[in-house]
Amino acid sequence: MNIKDVFTPFTTWSKVVKDPVTIKNPIGREAAPRYRGFHKNDIDVCIGCGTCEAICENQAIDLVPVEGIETKSGDSGLRPRIDYGRCCWCALCVDICTTNSLNLTNEYTWVDTDPDAFIFTPGVDKKSWDTKEEGWKKPVPNYHFYGQTRVPMEELHAEERVESFVEFVKGYSKKQAEEEADRCVACGICTATCPAHMGIPDYIAAIRNEDMEEGMRILYDTNPLPEICGRICTHKCEDVCSVGVNGDPLSIRWLKRYIADQIPADVDKYNEILYTKDIKNNNKKVAIIGTGPSSLSSAYYLSLLGYKITMYEKLPQAGGMMRYGIPEYRLPYDAIDKDIDYIVSLGVDIKYNVTVGKDITLEQLHEENDAVFAGTGLHLGRSTRIPGSDHENVYQSVDLLRDIVTGAEVPVERKVVVIGGGNVAMDITRSMARLQKAKYGEVNIITTSLESEDIMPADREEVVEAREEGCTIIPGYGPQEVMIENGKVVGLRVWKCLSIFDENHNFNPKFDESDERVFEGDMVIESIGQGMDLSYLSEDTKKGLEFGPRGRVQTNDNFQTSLPWLFMGGDIIQGPDVIHGIANGHRAAMAIDDFLNQGR
Amino acid sequence: MSELDINDKVKEMLEKSAENAGSKNSEKTFVHPEDEEREVIAPDGSIIKVNPIYDYFSGKKPTEEKPSNGVVEKFLNWARSESIWVLGFGTGCGSIEIPPLMTPRFDAFRFGIQMRPTPRQSNAFIISGYLSVKTLKRVIRSYEQMPSPKYVLALGSCTINGGMYYDSYSTINRLDKYLPVDVYIAGCMPRPEALLAGFMKLKELIKEGKGEKANEYARNFDEYKANQKKIIKDWNMPDYNW
Amino acid sequence: MKEILDRITPKYDLQDVSIKDDLQAYVVVEKKLAIDMVTYMRDYEGFSHFVLMSCVDWIEDNKLQLLYLLNNPEKKCVIGIKVFIDRENPSMQSAHHLWKQIWTYQRELREAFGIDFPGSPRIEENFVLEGWTDKPHMLRDFDTNKYAEETYFPRTGRSTNDPATYMRQKLYPNQPVTAKKNKDDE
Amino acid sequence: MSKIFDFKPDRSKYPAKKADGTLDVDLRSQKYVKLWLGPNHPGVTGNMAVELTLAGDEIVEAKTHVGYLHRGFEKLIERRLYVQGFPTSIRMCVAEPDTNEYLIARSTEVLSGYDKDIPEMAQWLRMLSLEMARLQGLLRGVPGQAGTFSLGIGVQWGVYLRDLILDRFEELTGARVYHMYIIPGGVRGLLPDGFKKRMEENLKEIDNFIIRIRQLMFDNAIFKKRSVGIGVIPKEWVDLYGIVGTNARACGVKRDVRKDNPYLMYEQLDFDPPTATEGDIYARSWVRWQELIQTVDLIRQIMAKMPEKGDIRAKMPNVLHWRIPKGETYNKLESGRGEYGMYYVTDGSDKPRRVNLRGPSYTHAIALLEKMLIGTNIADVHATMVSLQTCPPEIER
C-alpha cells in the first residue's frame, strides 16, 4: 500500500463532467422488437385448438367460448383466455401455436389496483397493444415444436402399379407410423368433422404408446370397418387438421390403416381384443338389406347389443360398393374380407344372391323381424343424356367396375374417353388404364370433367396418381355430343365450361362455344354420378314413406323413416362415401335399439 | 443471595427449560427455547417472569386513522406521494430489477422514491414476486413495523395468482389474502419502466386520497390474521409487531 | 474410467455398472459398503472433489436411491455411487467426516426425504422449510399441487373447455355412444 | 503500515466446548450476544440470514439460515413436461439464469440421444448467451465487492453497464432477465441485424469501465485495507469443502469446467482462466476482475468466429409427447460462481423423475462461510459473503 493508492480513486471524479446516462422519460420506453410482452391473438385465424393451453406450464391459459365466433367444423369456437396471475411470458404458446395467430407484442406496462383484472381474452377484450406489430413471433427458420412435413407413404412406382391391380400403397412401417403419430398435437378438432366422430387423437395416442389393441378398441367404438376406412376414407378430418394449417396435415387415414394392419386376420384374435367373445342374445331380430358400409356398421352395433341379424345381398359377395365400386388396387379384397369376417363372426347371417323385392319382399322381412334397415346404396349409373349417349359403346362406370370385380368380360378399346371428375371417374380411369396396359401395352385415356382443375371433386392425389399412370385428364370441359361415325363411337365433342352454377346456386353450366375440342375415343364411359334403385319398395310401402328432393326418402335424425320399423341409411340418404355410411349405420343401430326397447 | 446460589439457580432453570424444549419439540410447537415463557433472575437476585414474544413488543391491535380535514389532508397526501420511501427488502426475484431502477439509468430518486434499510423509516413495501411462507412471516413483521400510512406494491404474476409457482407447496398464491395491496404490476418480472409506471399509479392514488390500505388492514385485521395463521404454522411471534 | 471400474468392481462387488461416456459412470453398491467405498475412492483413486449428494425416490420399488457423486480433478471424470435403501424409516450411515459440506446435504435429505443420518451434526434442524408438518416434501407421494390448492386459496372463477368435448356438446350432442366394452364385462 | 489495533483473543479459554465438541455458548451468561444478519440483505442477490454469536465484535459462531426463497423447483420440474422445464428452472438463480436453461436443455438432449444433433449455430449462440450472462453477472459482482465497503460508485457504473448487456439480451432473446433462450434442441432465435455492432459499442464502454474499476478498487487504500488478508481460504480447503470456480482459482487451484471438461465450442476459443494464490477477498476480487477482461475477450472471439447463418434447432420429437427412456446424467458448466451442475434422472415417462441442482453456493455459503466467519468482525461478514459470490436461491432451489 502506498500513497498512490490514496489518490488513484479520485480519478473517478473525471466522470463528473460526463453527460448523465439517465433516460429522460423511461415510462413506456419502447422495448426491443423481439420482446416478449403482452399477448395478442388474431381471433379470425385462431381455430381454438388448445395447443397453447396444453403447453402452458403454469396453467395460465383457459379456452373459453367467445361471442361472435361460431363453433363449426375446423373451429372449436373457443379462444384462449390468459391469466396474468399465472403467465411467465415464456412464449411457448406462441412457438407451438398451430395457426400462428397468437403472438406477443412488445408492450409491457400494465398496472392495476384490482388483482382480478389481470385476466383477458386477447383479440376479444380490446387492449391498447392490439395494434402493435413488433414483439415475439415464432422463430424462423426450422424451429418447430412438432413435425411440419408428413412422413411420406411408400408407394409402388407409377409404371409398376399400372401393370396390375395390386394395392400400390404399402402402408406405414412401425417407425414411420410412430413418427407420423408423433406429429399429432392431440387437439381433437378433427373428431367433430369426421362423420362418424371417431376418437382420432385417442387412437393416434395408442400408436405412440405402441398399444395396438387399445387402438383397435378405440377404432371399433365408432367404426367397424377400419381396414376399409384406413384405405379409402375421404378423410375430411385431414382437411381440418390443425397441424395442417401450417404444414402437412396428419395422415390420419394411413395411421388408422396402420393400427388395423397390425392385428392379424384372425376372428378369434379380434374377438379377444374387442371383448366380444360371448354376447348375450336378446331374442330380437333385425333384417338388413344390403351389405355396404352402412349395413355392416348397423349390423355390427346391433350384434353387440345382442340382436340376431340377417343381411340380404343381391350380389354373390358382401361389401356393396366397397367391393364392387372401388378397384382392387385401392382396396384389396382381403382387407374387405378381414373386416367383414369379424362382423360375420358375431353371428350375423348374410344371405347372398337374394334380391329383396324379387326373391323376398320387404313386407315379408317386416313380418319375420322386429325392424328392417335398408342401406342399398347407389348402384345405378347416371347418364349425361347428350346426343349419342344411348350408343352401345357408351358405358356406365358403375357397371364396368362391377364387371371387373365379378370377372365378367369388360370391353376395352384402344382409346377411351371418360366423362366425370369425381373419385369414381378416377377409379374407372385408372382401372381402364390397367386393363389397357394389359391388353395393348399402352395407356390411352382422356378424362374430362365439367369442373375445372381446382374444384374437381376427386381427391387431389387421385388426379396426380392417375396422371402419373399415363392418363390424360383435361378438366373444365362440358360434353356436348358422342360422335358416331359408321355406327362406331369415334370421340366426344366438348365445349369449354365457364361456370357450373348460376347465381342461385342451381346447376346451370355455361359454355364457351368457341372453345370446342374433340377427344378421340373408341368408347365413352360416363361417370357423372349414381342413382338409387328403390324398386324393392312396394307401392304400399311407398305410400307410407315421405320423399324429399331428388327422390330421396325422408328420415329423421336417427334414420328412421315415417314407417317406424323401417330405417334407412348410407348413400341413399347421405353421402356418398364410406364414412357417412358407417356413421349412419351406427346411429341407426342405436335408434333401432331405442325403438325396440321402448316398451322396456 | 450469593453468586454461587444464583449460578445454581440458573443451572436448575436451564435444565428445566432444556427438558421443556425436548418435550415441546416432539409436539411440534415450534417455539424456540429462548422464546419460551420462563423465569429469569434479575441482578438483585429477584425472580421475574418473562414471556419474550409478548414482553418486548406491543400486542395491541392496529387502529384506523381518520384522515385530517380538507386542505390539510390534501397537502399531506401531496407530501406523501412525493416521498415514497421503499423498504429495502427484496422478497423475490423481482428485486433484481430494483438496482437498475435506483441507479442512474432509470433514476427513481428524481420521482421521490428511495430505498430505506429499515421498516421504521419506510412507507412502501415492494413485494417483488413470489413469497415463500418463511419469507411471508418476515414480510408481515416488517410490514407491521412500518408507520402508517403505508403502501404495498405487488410485482408480477406470483402475487396475483401464484404465477409459475401456483402448485408449489412453499409459496403463497394470492398476496391480497395476507396483506392489503395498493398496486399490482403485471410481468414476470416487470421491467424497471413498468415499475416506475406502478409508482406513478401509486402517487396518483395517494393524491386522490385512495392510499388507505393501512386502514383497511386495521379494519380487517382479524381476517388477515386468520389467513396468515392458517399457513404460518410456527407462529412464534406476537400478533401485531408494532 | 474403465480401468478404475475394473479395479474396484470386484473389490466392492459392484452391481449395475454403467459408463455413460468416458468421463461419467454410475455404480450400485451395497449399503454397508457405501461409505467405505466413498472413502476409498477419495483416498486411493483421486476422487477428491465431492460434487453432490442426492436422492431419488423409486416409489414403485419401495426404495430410495442415494447418490454420492465424486469428481476426480486429475482425470476429469465423475463417478456416481448409488445406494438403495428402504423407503420405510430410511436411514444411512453419515459421511460428514469425509468432506466438510456433507452434513449440509444430509440435513437437506433429512428434511426433503426423511432419511436419518445418525451422528450427522445439526441433522434435526430445519433446512429450507419452517413449521413444516406434512410428510417430507420431495417424496413422490407428496402431492404438491393438492397441498397448494388446499392451503393457499387459488383465485377462483376460472374454467376451461376441452375443444373436442366442447365441439361435441355444440355440434353433435346426440352422437351415439357404443356401450364401452372392457375386460370386466367379458 | 502497522496495525493500530491488534486483537488476539486467547482461544484456549473461550468459547468453551462441551464434551461432544460443540461450542458451549450460554447466551444468558451475558458474555455473548446473538445477532441475526438478514434475511433481507443488501449485499447478496437473494435473501439469506446468518445467525451470529458474538463475543464483543468478534464472531465465535455463525449459522447460515436459508429457505427464504424456497419454491420447490425440483419438485415442480417433476410435474412438468421436458420442454416446460426450462422456463421453470431458470428462476433457480436470478443472477445468471442462462446456466440453468443450458443444463436442462443439455440433460434432456443427452438422455434422449439428441446431443449430437444440435446445430452448430445453436451451439455458438448458446455459448454467446452463457458468456453474456457471465459478463452481466460479473458487472454486478465485481463492483459489488466494493459496494460492501460503501464504495457505491462502482456499483452505480456496474449496474448501468449490466443494463446495456441486458438490452442486448433483450434484442437477442426477448427478455431482460429471464431469457428463456436455450431450449431443448437448440436456441430460440438468430442474432438480430446489427447486433454485433451494438455489442461491440457496449464492450468498448465496458473496456473503459474495467480500467476505471481497477483504479477504484484495486488501487484503493481503503479497499486494500479491508480486503487484503481477510477471509482467507487456504489451499487445502478446496477439496475439503468442495470449493469451485473463482473461489478455488483465487487460492491457486486452477479448475475451470470450460477447460477441464469442455462443452459447447469452448475448445475453439483461446483463453486461460486467471488465478491468484493468496485466497483472500482481494485475490478473489482480482481474479474476478481479470475474468471480466477475459469474458469481454471471449464474447469478441465468439462473435468473430460464429457462423452468420444456420439452423437454430435440431429436429426433435413433438414436445407435447416427448418421452425420454430411463437414464441418469450429470452435466455441468462453469458459471460465474463456479462449477454448476445438474443431476437429471428420467424414468421413461414424459416428465423427469428427479432434477437436482448443484449450485456452488451450496457449499460456499453454508459450510465454508460458517467456518470462515469465525474470528472475523461484523463488518467483514458482508464482504466475506459477497466475495464468495453467494447466491441463496441456488442453495435452496
Domain ranges, ordered by start, for chain D: 81-359
Q: Do C160 and A64 touch (CB under 8 A)?
A: yes
Contacting C residues, span 97-156, partner chain A, CB-CB under 8 Å: 155
Q: Do C167 and A201 touch (CB under 8 A)?
A: no
**Is residue C62 packed enough to be buried (19+ CB in 10 Å), middle (13-18) or exposed (0-12)?**
exposed
CB-CB contact of D299 with D132 (8 Å): yes
What is the reported pLDDT for B14? 52
* DSSP helix/strand/coil, D87: helix
Question: Distance (Å) from the C-alpha of residue B193 to the closest C-alpha of chain A?
Answer: 5
Question: Distance (Å) from the C-alpha of residue B159 to the closest C-alpha of chain C?
Answer: 11
In a domain, C183, yes or no: no
Q: Do C167 and A49 touch (CB under 8 A)?
A: no
Question: Distance (Å) from the C-alpha of residue C64 to the closest C-alpha of chain D?
Answer: 12
Phi, psi (deg, nearest 5) at residue B124? -135, 145
Task: Report, as ranges of residue numbers, the positions in chain C whose pLDDT lies below 70.
Answer: 176-186
What is the reported pLDDT for D61? 85
DSSP bridge partners of C53: C68
Q: Do A111 and B107 touch (CB under 8 A)?
A: no
Q: What is the 3-state secondary structure (H, E, C) of A485-538?
A: ECCEEEEEEEEEEEEEECCCCCEEEEEEEEEEEEEECCEEEECCCEECCCCCCC
Question: Distance (Å) from the C-alpha of residue B168 to the closest C-alpha of chain D?
Answer: 6
Q: Label residue D9 by pLDDT band (50, 70, 90).
A: low
Q: What is the pLDDT of residues C12-47, one digit of tens each?
A: 888 778 887 778 889 999 888 889 889 988 888 889
Report chain D residues whose CB lies below 8 A from the CB of A35: 170, 174-175
The mean pLDDT value of chain D amounts to 86
Q: What is the pLDDT of residues B33-49, one digit of tens each?
A: 667 777 777 777 788 88
Q: Which of D293, D292, D306 is nearest to D264 (CA)?
A: D306
Q: Do D339 and C51 touch (CB under 8 A)?
A: yes
Contacting A residues, span 7-46, partner chain B, CB-CB under 8 Å: 20-23, 26-29, 31, 38
A160-263 has which CATH code? 1.10.1060.10
Q: Which residue in chain D has the smallest CA separation from B100? A: D159
Report chain A residues whose CB lies below 8 A from the CB of D174: 32, 34-36, 91, 104, 136
Joined grid coordinates for residue A100: 400462428
Q: Do D176 and B97 touch (CB under 8 A)?
A: yes
Asked whether the predicted pLDDT for residue D372 surpasses 60, the reply is: yes
The DSSP 8-state label assigned to residue D261 in this structure reads: S
Interface mutation target, options B152, B164, B203, B210, chain A, most CBs of A under 10 Å: B164
Interface mutation target, options D188, D191, D209, D323, chain A, most CBs of A under 10 Å: D188
Report chain C residues whose CB lies below 8 A from the CB of A83: 155, 158
Please name the chains neighbouring C, where neighbouring means 3+ C-beta pairs under 8 angstroms. Answer: A, B, D
Tens place of pLDDT for every residue, chain A, 600 residues?
688 888 888 888 888 888 888 888 888 888 889 899 999 999 889 998 889 999 998 889 999 998 888 888 888 889 999 999 889 898 899 999 999 999 999 899 999 998 888 899 998 888 888 888 888 988 888 888 888 888 888 888 888 888 888 888 888 888 888 889 899 998 888 888 888 888 899 999 999 988 888 899 888 888 888 888 888 888 888 889 999 888 888 999 889 989 988 888 888 888 888 888 777 888 888 899 888 889 999 999 888 888 888 998 888 888 888 888 888 888 888 888 888 888 888 888 888 888 888 888 888 888 888 888 888 888 888 887 888 888 888 888 888 888 888 888 888 888 888 888 888 888 888 888 888 888 888 888 888 888 888 888 888 888 888 888 888 888 888 888 888 888 888 888 888 888 888 888 888 888 888 888 888 888 888 888 888 888 888 888 888 888 877 778 888 888 888 888 888 888 888 767 888 888 888 888 888 888 888 654
Q: Is the preceding peptide bond at A141 cis, omega within 30 degrees of 0?
A: yes
Phi, psi (deg, nearest 5) at residue A526? -95, 130
Superfamily (CATH) of domain D81-359: Cytochrome-c3 Hydrogenase, chain B (1.10.645.10)
C9 Cβ contact list (under 8 Å, min separation 6)? C17, C27
Q: Which residue in chain C has the smallest CA separation from D74? A: C138
B22 Cβ contact list (under 8 Å, min separation 6)? none
Q: Do A192 and C180 touch (CB under 8 A)?
A: no
Asked whether the predicted pLDDT for residue D388 surpasses 70, the reply is: yes
Q: Which residue in chain C has the smallest CA separation from B167? A: C145
B223 at C interface, C-beta within 8 A: no
Could you tell me which residue, D31 or B30, shows the higher pLDDT? D31
Q: How far apart are the C-alpha atoms of D330 and C82, rounded to whole Å?
A: 13
A39-131 has which CATH code? 3.30.70.3270
Q: Do A88 and B187 touch (CB under 8 A)?
A: no
D70 at B interface, C-beta within 8 A: yes
Report chain B residues whose CB lies below 8 A from the CB of A84: 157, 160, 186
Q: What is the pLDDT of residues A179-195, one digit of tens each?
A: 898 999 988 888 888 88
Q: Which of A489, A503, A536 is nearest to A373 (CA)?
A: A536
Report chain B residues whose CB lies below 8 A from the CB of C152: 162, 171-174, 231
Q: How far apart are the C-alpha atoms of C70 and B197, rounded to whole Å?
A: 50
Question: Distance (Å) from the C-alpha of residue B237 to the closest C-alpha of chain D?
Answer: 16
C111 at D interface, C-beta within 8 A: no
Q: Which of D106, D74, D88 is nearest to D332 (CA)?
A: D106
What is the reported pLDDT for A600? 47
Q: How far apart are the C-alpha atoms of A123 and A101, rounded to whole Å?
A: 10
This complex has an ipTM of 0.85
Question: Distance (Å) from the C-alpha of residue A1 to the closest C-alpha of chain D?
Answer: 6
Q: How far apart are the C-alpha atoms of B132 and B39, rounded to whole Å?
A: 35
Q: Which of A41, A75, A453, A46 is nearest to A239 (CA)?
A: A75
B47 at D interface, C-beta within 8 A: no
Q: Do B105 and D163 touch (CB under 8 A)?
A: yes
Q: How far apart are the C-alpha atoms of B149 and B146, rounded to whole Å?
A: 8
What is the reported pLDDT for B15? 59
Asked whether the predicted pLDDT for residue D6 surpasses 60, the reply is: no
Question: Distance (Å) from the C-alpha of residue B29 to the closest C-alpha of chain C?
Answer: 9
Which of A23, A58, A109 shows the shortest C-beta gap to B194? Answer: A109
**Is residue C74 packed enough to be buried (19+ CB in 10 Å), middle (13-18) or exposed (0-12)?**
exposed
A202 at C interface, C-beta within 8 A: no
pTM reported for the whole predicted model? 0.87
Domain A380-530 CATH (choose: 3.40.50.2300, 3.40.50.1980, 1.20.1530.20, 3.50.50.60)? 3.50.50.60
Q: Which fold has domain B72-231?
A: Rossmann fold (3.40.50)
Q: CATH 3.30.70.3270 spans which residues of chain A? A: 39-131
B55 Cβ contact list (under 8 Å, min separation 6)? none
Q: CATH 3.50.50.60 spans which residues of chain A? A: 280-378+532-600, 380-530
B30 at C interface, C-beta within 8 A: yes
Q: Label residue B31 by pLDDT band (50, 70, 90).
A: low
C4 at D interface, C-beta within 8 A: no
What is the reported pLDDT for C184? 44
What is the reported pLDDT for D135? 92
Asked whether the predicted pLDDT for residue D1 surpasses 50, the reply is: no
Q: CATH 1.10.1060.10 spans which residues of chain A? A: 160-263
Q: Label residue B202 by pLDDT band (50, 70, 90).
A: very high
Which of A20, A86, A112 shows the shortest C-beta gap to B157? Answer: A86
Q: Which of D78, D54, D53, D51 is nearest to D64 (CA)?
A: D51
Which of A64, A192, A587 shows the shortest C-beta gap to C167? Answer: A192
Q: Do A58 and B166 touch (CB under 8 A)?
A: yes
Q: Do C100 and D396 touch (CB under 8 A)?
A: no
What ranges do the domains of chain B cover?
A: 3-55, 72-231
Q: Do B134 and D72 touch (CB under 8 A)?
A: no
Report chain A residues whose CB lies below 8 A from the CB of D321: 182, 184, 186, 205, 208
Q: Label residue D344 by pLDDT band (50, 70, 90).
A: very high
Question: What's C78's domain CATH number?
Answer: 3.30.460.80
**Is residue C4 packed enough to be buried (19+ CB in 10 Å), middle (13-18) or exposed (0-12)?**
middle
Domain, as residue range, for C125: 2-154
Alpha carbon distances (Å) from A524 to A217, A269, A451: 45, 47, 18
Chain C residues within 8 A (CB-CB) of chain B? 128-134, 137, 142, 144-145, 147-149, 151-155
**Is residue D215 packed enough to be buried (19+ CB in 10 Å), middle (13-18) or exposed (0-12)?**
middle
A363: amino acid identity, one letter: E
Q: Do B164 and A58 touch (CB under 8 A)?
A: yes
What is the reported pLDDT for B27? 46
Question: Distance (Å) from the C-alpha of residue B98 to the closest C-alpha of chain A?
Answer: 14
Which of A78, A201, A274 shows the shortest C-beta gap to C161? Answer: A78
Which of C130, C148, C155 shows the shortest C-beta gap to B167? Answer: C148
Asked whether the predicted pLDDT for residue B26 surpasses 50, the reply is: no
User: What is the residue whose three cell numbers read 480513486?
Assistant: A9
Asked whether the predicted pLDDT for residue D200 surpasses 90, the reply is: yes
Report chain C residues whose CB lies below 8 A from the CB of B226: none
